[in-house]
Amino acid sequence: MSEMNLLRHITPAEQGLYLLLPFEMPANSARLDLHYSYQTHTSEPVNTPEGQFARTRRLNIVDIGLIAPDGFQVGASGSSRSEIMVSEVSATPGYQPHPLTPGSWQIILGAYVIAPEGVDVSITLEFTPKVPRWLCGDLHVHTLASDGSLPLEHLAEHARIHGLDFIAVTDHNQAVKRASFPKVEGLTIILGQEWTHYKGHSNFLGLEQPYQGSFIANNPEEVQAIFREAHKNGALIVINHPCESNFSFHYDLDSLDYDLIEVWNGPMRPANLEAVARWDAMLKAGRKQVATCGSDYHEDTFFQRLASPCIYVLADSNSDSDILKAVKAGRSYFAFSPTKLQLLLDVDGQTFGASLAWREGMQASLKALALEKGDIIRLITQEGAKDIFTAPEKGGFETSLLVTGPSYWRLEVWRTFYSFLPPMPALITNPIWFDRTK
């Protein structure tokens, strides 16, 4: 945390003016705390026959407010609060959650009443930096607004009960408006919609209105135009359940602007294994394709549950923009459910999604937590797949592996969930890429 102290002397001549006090917001700030103080009253003893009393007299009233570098009024709270907090996801009442954009911010000091001798206003600013941490969420859920069974308020509560840090609301061809998002402590709700078409489904994440007009498109050119517009506007675009028999994706992916491919949709089944194989073929062909997952939750059934699967992302903060940044970068892995099962890979302080220049002797640290007896850790690279560990019992596992050459590395944990079924993926990571040095 870093701190900054500012002092502003306000003269009686400035009474009735709004003064601006600039300060620099450091890069990578997650939270701003502002505290200000000045002499509000004077107090003098008064002797009376009954004893001594203190007579207080109002000396100064200084109001406060905050303006972001783009001129947006983040808030103004008169003189009623001396402590103000702002972050991208929450703020003191009277202030808006706002990204803490680096650059020149301004404090509004309203010189409402100023004593004849003037007043010193001292301001302390505390900046809490962003610290990357693993967050768990579900990027594909439906509400009552389309064919889901729960209104968003219930779904949000449901998400917290499952221990989720975020959900993306992806109703068919319509976005639930941000203004109607319920406030649930500790849960980030991400804007989205599932572009749902007879020839393919695709999640557009992060925007209320990714494209103008309607979702309809009757030829590849019209589909390309929608994707191009949404992508240009900043939507994160996911090709959903590409191999699902009734809802597979029929358009040529190479002709579309998109970011991610949803390789794990709902319960693990042949269509997901096929999507993983298709993704792996893209990776083997040299494409740095990032994958994602989502439960496609509609209602609780034997097969379908919220956060099955869920995505773990290493995000700089719990703001929607930082979560989507991590999703886009592939700093993530997917698990069958939010359990304690974890798989972490560290190479030179970097993890999944990173592109590193390969060098001789490069080491990768692998750490697995909460494996079940019989769980298999599989390493998939340019050269193929190799089982590197079978858990002899419940517990963790740690090892260091030599990166033998330029390649991509991704990992899977395979588990026998039911003795009458073959093992299936319990966890799938995004790759880390080891690039050939020129």
CB of 212 to Zn ion, least distance (A): 23
Q: Does 165 bind Zn ion (CB under 5 A)?
A: no
Cα–Cα distance, 168 to 193 (Å, whole number): 9
CB of 93 to Zn ion, least distance (A): 36
CB of 243 to Zn ion, least distance (A): 12
Closer Cβ to Zn ion, 156 or 239, answer by number: 239
Interface with Zn ion by CB under 5 A: which range of 19-27, 103-111, 213-221, 289-297? 289-297
Q: Does 201 bind Zn ion (CB under 5 A)?
A: yes
Which two tokens mark 24?
């620099």
Q: What is the 3-state secondary structure of 228-275? A: HHHHHCCCEEEECCCCCCCCCCCCCHHHCCCCEEEEEECCCCHHHHHH
* φ, ψ (nearest 5 deg) of residue 117: -90, 0
State which of positions 47-86 bind Zn ion (CB under 5 A): none
Which two tokens mark 410?
């991704």
Q: Residues 417, 424: contact at Cβ < 8 Å?
A: yes
Binding letters toward Zn ion, positions 181-200, x by CB under 5 A:
-------------x------
Cα–Cα distance, 372 to 418 (Å, whole number): 13
Cα–Cα distance, 225 to 330 (Å, whole number): 26
Closer Cβ to Zn ion, 202 or 319, answer by number: 202
How many residues sit in the footprint of Zn ion (CB under 5 A)?
4
Its sign, for the CA torsion 176, 177, 182, 187, is positive
CB of 194 to Zn ion, least distance (A): 5
Distances, alpha carbon 174 to alpha carbons 31, 147, 203, 211, 282, in Å? 32, 11, 11, 11, 31
Cα–Cα distance, 346 to 274 (Å, whole number): 28
Closer Cβ to Zn ion, 307 or 413, answer by number: 307
Closer Cβ to Zn ion, 87 or 240, answer by number: 240
Q: Kind and range of the H or E element at 419?
A: none
By Cβ distance, which residue is nearest to Zn ion?
Answer: 201
CB of 161 to Zn ion, least distance (A): 21
Task: Rule CB under 5 A: choose which of 296, 316, 320, 322 binds Zn ion.
Answer: 296
CB of 201 to Zn ion, least distance (A): 3
Its sign, for the CA torsion 20, 24, 29, 32, is negative
Interface with Zn ion by CB under 5 A: which range of 238-246, 267-275, 282-290, 345-353? 238-246
Of 72, 55, 89, 117, the closest CA to residue 190 belongs to 89
CB of 140 to Zn ion, least distance (A): 6
Q: Does 262 bind Zn ion (CB under 5 A)?
A: no
Sheet with 236-239, edge to edge strand ranges:
171-172, 192-197, 200-205, 236-239, 260-265, 290-294
CB of 142 to Zn ion, least distance (A): 6
Catalog residues that contact Zn ion under the rule CB under 5 A: 194, 201, 240, 296
